[in-house]
Amino acid sequence: MVTLILPRLIDVSAASRRSGSVVERNVAALKSVYWLLLLSGFVEPLLYLLSIGVGVGALVGDLPLPDGRLVSYAEFVAPAMLASSAMTGALAETTFNFFGKMKYMKLYDGMIATPVRPFEIAVGELSWAMLRGSAYSAAFLGVMVALDLTSVTRALTALPAAVLVGFAFGALGMAISTFMRSWQDFDLMGSAQFTLFLFSGTFVPAQAYPTLLHWLIEITPLYRSVHLIRGVALGSGGWVWLLDVLYLLAMVAIGLLVASRRMGRLLYQ
């Protein structure tokens, strides 16, 4: 029994180290400009929060949560900005950067000449994207606490939720990137990302839309992310957020599977 389990543990350990090497390579390549990248990804959602959440919120007033509790408009918008920040940070790494490394830099062609396999590259790149998205999320949560839009305890609970959102969108972005043929193909993805940002319960409750559009919104990944983080950060929604967690975990699994298989075909052809 032990002799059967031990080789598997060794394989998992070796695969983890190889994926970690991919992360280390990204850290070494970007450490000199990382704080500038972090600042750029953090400022955009902060500006949305201050201009719309606080500015427009002064005109809108309070909004009801599903449990009937009233919250200020800034409290309503802030968790959505956090989810959008995690999405943006993860997609930035696993779309343009990932595509450039694979298509033009031919970085992964050199990696597969070593013992590193496509699945380990995918896990390493996703882990790096998660680290970048988590940095955005942690900084934004600090602002939410400073503005009294959530408590410290809820912010600490919301951080793992934001990390999961980063994982989910990172896996999705990586899978989509393996189907891209040129930079122009990313125009469609940018349009889809902005549409999700506008129509995912970000600025108004999804119930405000017509019934058909409401149903479509509720099955989109950013809506599930906003719903999860809003429920955790504001203490609403009960245990319904477990469905959001399962949804996002399925995105991670499917995205990693598709990305690793597509990378295998592209790199070994």
Does this model's pTM top 0.85? My answer is yes
pLDDT at 225: 94
What's the pLDDT score for residue 247?
A: 95
Q: Tell me how far CA of residue 52 lies from CA of 25, 111, 169, 206, in angstroms.
A: 38, 45, 24, 17
Per-residue pLDDT at 41: 63
Q: For residue range 121-159, list pLDDT tens digits in order.
A: 888 888 888 887 787 788 888 888 888 888 888 988 899
Q: Which two tokens stand for residue 31?
A: 């450490």
| Residue ranges of domains in the chain | 42-268
